[in-house]
Amino acid sequence: MRDRDELSAEPEFPGQVRDTVAQSTPWWPSPPRSSGPNVLVILLDDVGFAQLGCYGASVGTPNIDALARDGLRYTNFHVPALCSPTRASLLTGRNHHSVGMGFLGAFDTGYPSYRAAISPAAATLPEMLRAGGYGSYATGKWHLTPPAGMSPAGPFDQWPTQRGFDRYYGFLWGEDDQYRPELWYDQHRVEVPDDPDYHLSRDVVDRTAEFIADHVTNRPDDPFLAYVAFAACHAPHQAPREYLDRYVGRFDHGWDEERERVLARQIELGVVPPGTQLSPRDPEVPAWDTLEPDERRLYARLQEAFAGFMEHTDAQVGRLVEFLRTHRLLDDTVILLLSDNGASGEGGRDGTINEYRYFLGLEDSIDDALAQIDDIGGPQAHNQYPAGWALAGNTPLQYYKRFTHGGGVRAPLIVHWPSGTGDRPGTRPQFHHAIDVLPTILELAGVEAPRTHRGVDQLPVHGTSMRYSFADAGAPPARTRQYFETAGNRAIVDGPWKAVAAHRPGTAFDADRWELYDIARDVAEANDLSAEEPERLQQLQNAWWEEARRYGVLPLDDRMGDRVRALDPAMDRRRYVMLPGSRMLNHVVGPSFSERGFRVTAEIHCLPGDEGVILAYGRRAFGFSFFVQEGRLRVDYNLAGRHTELTAAAPLPDRRVSVSMRVAPAASGATIALDVDDERVAEAPVERLIPGGIGTLSIQCGHNAPSAVSAAYEAPFTFTGAMDRVVVELDERRLPSASSQTETELAFQ
């Protein structure tokens, strides 16, 4: 029952209440209504400026190209250089530092701009559209919930369903396995559908169509917002075999020639002006003609996997568009398709069969990848292409995701709205940014951004509507200035000029070298004018500091892997108790096994035939599993595909016993030991302690899902014996090894 104060706060009743119904006058509130269009936002992941066919790519994207052909294709659209900041800007219309998402949605480092959560002072797009009667639905990648709030028990205040979306289906972290993702439906976990042809991108579209169908059936007079955030084309690059096979041999010419081919198509398509030069090749990327034959074979196969993944994603976009067309929704649905940042150079020089090796600073080798070359793109690999292909994917721009050069921040944007853009399709050259998407949608919906929301004064929206450009390709841009900052990389655009500085983590910010480009004439940022225009460069640097102070960028923070060691002090907890069937989603909510010894203990009773997982950390690509199989205690210690397996010599006795798995540091590497009732039953050396930094992997008690850490069993391999709890005890954290500088560099993206 509500209390008296709450009742008194209700709005005044406009009808009349008398002694009887016959004497009284009823009244019903009018629901909010909007005459605005339906809105479909399709957000691609790590898709570079040149990785769609309509922007010059060699990859087939006919469905996306059709949206561009019949709609608007922006050629000067920009985003923050990482996924979480772009998502925060897109959904709030504010600069990402201002709303607490200065870096990834994984690291709360204790400063207002780096909370890894969207501030309550920044209402989101779906929260705003409710005032216009919109229903709102999100599918796919979220990556806007801080780790401390990411558990099956909440708190849920930063989950999609409590930031304005009525329904949600997808995954919470920054990447996932396309075949065995960790899925959430609203606020509860669900298993991957039992389908031999399962793929996450297809599942996301199926669920989006279901949400829209429910909406138009039950609320036919209300418009909808559908936010579809694909995991594609973030690594791992995985797609059905038929899509991978389409690209066999089609990239054997290499990334240098590919850049030339793409640039020629971009000029022909009007994506870049005639005379555009390629930016210099990243010095860390070798020339293709200097590579060994085995290197070329491997690198080409890794790019084939990306291309197949991209075309498969396009097919899913096509399925969603066809759904709208079939149900007569397409003409009055404004579709905005964009990417969250440039193509990713995380694969480094060689790419990898398992990108967790990169994240963790583990040794990788071309020989390992060649031995598994036929697995690339399939469910057994977690592959990422070399940076050379990312450079080609960002043609003609410099660098990649994370950098504030063009390769990190210039992105494709397509707007398709038959009833709103009519017969005026084509390219649009106006400068715009992710913060401009929200005010554009609000203008179309006829909804104003609130001054207060849930009792909190709201930050002003920083973006500007792009609606003016729909009808006039030659209209002057409505905004001309925008700052950029990601992990110390900095840039500012002011009119035709751009100043940019790439920062090396651990070096002094004052030592950064600033470059100057006239991006109106030099789209690729190929000709540095800093020596010719030192005064202009200084003015832009001063302007960057003004914007940084205005929008809460400071303090500058160039930490990458070290950010994980600056997280919530809850990580210092040393003892955890888990119940069978439960899971902890990350190393802030649950135990952090990185760079330390630990012990896992349980009391169990196994009858003949009982088996299953006692405790597992991770999934197929990386982790460990402590389990019982064929009556014996076992462990599989999986260092990103390099397995150490240990099995007790004798079966477990037919009684209640205490079992434990112990990982301990050693003079060289580490050791794993298995004990039964404090008696050592097996022991083996391993290469090293679990490296630091992977926070995207869950800890599962009594099962191992969504995929199996060990090839010895199939997921979920639920424990069938008697077990009431599992205790995890952690040693003091050790200093990380020198090789772990990149361990979390991009692990959460």
Helix (H), strand (E) at residue 445? helix 437-445
Query: What is the C-alpha separation between 455 and 447, in angstroms, rounded?
Result: 19
Query: What is the C-alpha separation between 107 and 563, in angstroms, rounded?
Result: 7
Q: Is 83 a catalytic residue?
A: yes
Beta carbons within 10 angstroms of residue 677's beta carbon = 13
Query: What is the C-alpha separation between 89 and 82, in angstroms, rounded?
Result: 11
Burial of residue 9 (number of CB atoms within 10 Å: 0-12, 13-18, 19+): exposed
Q: Is 143 a catalytic residue?
A: yes
| Structure-block tokens of residue 114 | 């780096």
Residue 350 has, within 13 A of its CA and on its CB side, a CA count of 17
Among residues 148, 161, 156, 141, which one has the least CA distance to residue 90?
Answer: 141
Contact residues for 350 (Cβ-Cβ < 8 A; gap 6+): 295, 298, 299, 364, 366, 369, 386
SS3 at position 110 = coil
Query: What is the C-alpha separation between 287 and 6, in angstroms, rounded?
Result: 70
Gap between the terminal Cα atoms of the chain: 45
Per the DSSP assignment, residues forming a β-bridge with 676 are 659, 679
CA angle 598, 601, 607 (to 5 degrees): 145
Catalytic residue among 83, 233, 606, 701: 83
Query: What is the C-alpha separation between 576 and 100, in angstroms, rounded?
Result: 30
- Looking at residue 674, what DSSP letter applies? E
Query: What is the C-alpha separation between 126 and 402, in angstroms, rounded?
Result: 27
Cα 449 off chain centre by: 27
Per the DSSP assignment, residues forming a β-bridge with 184 are 170, 189
| Structure-block tokens of residue 455 | 């009792």
Q: Label residues 391-409 b or e (16+ Cβ within 10 Å = b).
A: bbbbbbbbbbbbbbbbbbb
Cα 466 off chain centre by: 25
- Looking at residue 164, what DSSP letter applies? T
Strand order in the sheet with 481-486: 481-486, 489-494, 497-501, 514-518
Per the DSSP assignment, residues forming a β-bridge with 729 are 575, 599
Query: What is the C-alpha separation between 179 and 312, in angstroms, rounded?
Result: 14
| Structure-block tokens of residue 417 | 């709205």
Among residues 574, 577, 580, which one has the least CA distance to residue 592?
Answer: 574
Query: What is the C-alpha separation between 479 and 494, in angstroms, rounded?
Result: 9
- One-letter amino acid identity for 446? G
Catalytic residue among 78, 96, 143, 215: 143
Burial of residue 555 (number of CB atoms within 10 Å: 0-12, 13-18, 19+): exposed
Q: Which residues are catalytic?
A: 83, 143
